[in-house]
Amino acid sequence: MAATRPTLDDERSLFSRLGELMVFAELGSIAPALPILLNAPRGDGHAVLVLPGMLASDGSTFVLRRYLQALGYQVHPWKLGRNWGPSTEIRQGIRDRFKELSNRYQHRISIVGWSLGGIYARELAREYPALVRQVITLGSPFGAGYRVEGEPDPKLAARLRPAPPVPCTAIYSKSDGVVPWEACLEQEGPQTDNIEVQSSHIGMGINALVLWAVADRLSQAEGRWRHFDRTGLHGYFFRETE
């Protein structure tokens, strides 16, 4: 019996999985990049809620949260333990946590969500648009329509794909070895943007380019959101979506 020849999709999938090895370089890049990262644009110190990805907990977002705290933001974990996937308890827990912070600060809150956490973030913003300042997703496949068991659902994808009525920035990587990067893109619009970075999926919370991009997005004044500026050095490190 003749061996089956690998398809282009098979080769791409293998290349993407190998790209996850980039996480070791990302870990080593944090310390040398820190002086530059601490000179990133700073905003008004507003409250930020950070949501972890599938099977991850607040520990996975520790570096990201500490970095944003160093820039002066009031940063908060989700405090719901490990993210085992969508459930009635998780959905209500996120709502309760968000409302607790909203009541505490009496101002709009930005939400940063990694992978599945970004899907939660967008749905929170869809439900409470008047309370959300902006959403930033990190490798979140909201356009794939995946259920917990991994099967794609076109109807779910069609519901999740449109952006909520708040500014939304999707940070994604074509070397993502966990989710399809095409499913992580916001549809083009006046309040949406896509920022491509060189990153593994599991390293997005420690990748220097991701950290800088998140800082840039959060630094904008409330009500004056604008698209990511790719002039100068930004154009070298952050490419336009193709």
Which is more confidently placed, 4 or 167? 167
Query: What CATH number does the domain containing 212 carry?
Result: 3.40.50.1820
Q: Is residue 29 predicted with pLDDT exceeding 80?
A: no
Q: Three-state SS across the chain?
A: CCCCCCCHHHHHHHHHHHHHHHHHHHHHHHHHHHHHHCCCCCCCCCEEEEECCCCCCHHHHHHHHHHHHHCCCEEECCCCCCCCCCCHHHHHHHHHHHHHHHHHHCCCEEEEEECHHHHHHHHHHHHCHHHEEEEEEECCCCCCCECCCCCECHHHHHHHCCCCCCCEEEEECCCCCCCCHHHHCCCCCCCEEEEECCCCCCCCCCCHHHHHHHHHHHCCCCCCCCCCCCCCHHHHHCECCC
pLDDT of 3 > 80? The answer is no
In a domain, 28, yes or no: no
- Alpha-carbon dihedral sign for residues 240, 217, 53, 68: positive
Q: Percentage of the chain with pLDDT > 70?
A: 83
Each residue's pLDDT tens digit, 127-148: 999 999 999 999 999 998 766 5
Please report, as a single letter, which amino acid is at residue 28.
G
Q: Which domain holds residue 72?
A: 48-237
Q: Are strands 132-138 and 47-51 parallel, antiparallel or unpaired?
A: unpaired
**pLDDT at position 20:** 64
pLDDT tens per residue across span 179-225: 999 999 999 999 999 999 989 899 999 999 999 999 999 999 999 99
Residue 203 in any domain: the answer is yes
In a domain, 32, yes or no: no
Assigned token pair, 199: 């990153």
Mean pLDDT over 21-30 rounds to 68
| pLDDT at 149 exceeding the cut of 70 | no
pLDDT for residue 14: 47
Which two tokens mark 212?
């800088």
- Assign 15 a pLDDT band (cuts: 50, 70, 90): very low
List the one residue out of 156, 145, 158, 146 whose CA is nearest residue 187: 158
68/238 Cα distance (integer angstroms)? 20
Phi, psi angle pair for 167, to nearest 5°: -60, 130
At residue 6, the pLDDT reads: 43
**What is the rounded average pLDDT of the residues 28-45?**
88
8-12, 32-36, 179-183: range with lowest mean pLDDT: 8-12
Amino acid present at 12: R
pLDDT score for 230: 85
Q: How far is CA 103 from CA 16, 47, 186, 224, in A?
A: 42, 11, 29, 23
Residue 99 lies in a domain: yes
* pLDDT band at residue 4 under the 50/70/90 scheme: very low
Query: Has residue 97 been placed in a domain?
Result: yes
**Within-domain flag for 12:** no
Whether the per-residue pLDDT at 48 is higher than 70: the answer is yes
Q: What average pLDDT does the structure give for the chain?
A: 88
- Domain annotation covers residue 6: no
State residue 136's pLDDT score: 98
Phi, psi of 112, rounded to the nearest 5 degrees: -110, 125
- Using CA atoms, how far apart are residues 104 and 167, in angstroms rounded to an integer? 22
Domain count, the chain: 1
Answer yes or no: is 134 within a domain: yes
* Per-residue pLDDT at 16: 54
| Per-residue pLDDT tens over the stretch 79-114 | 999 999 989 999 999 999 999 999 999 999 999 999
Rounded CA separation 114/138 (Å): 5
> Does the pTM of the predicted model rise above 0.95?
no
pLDDT at residue 134, as a whole number: 98
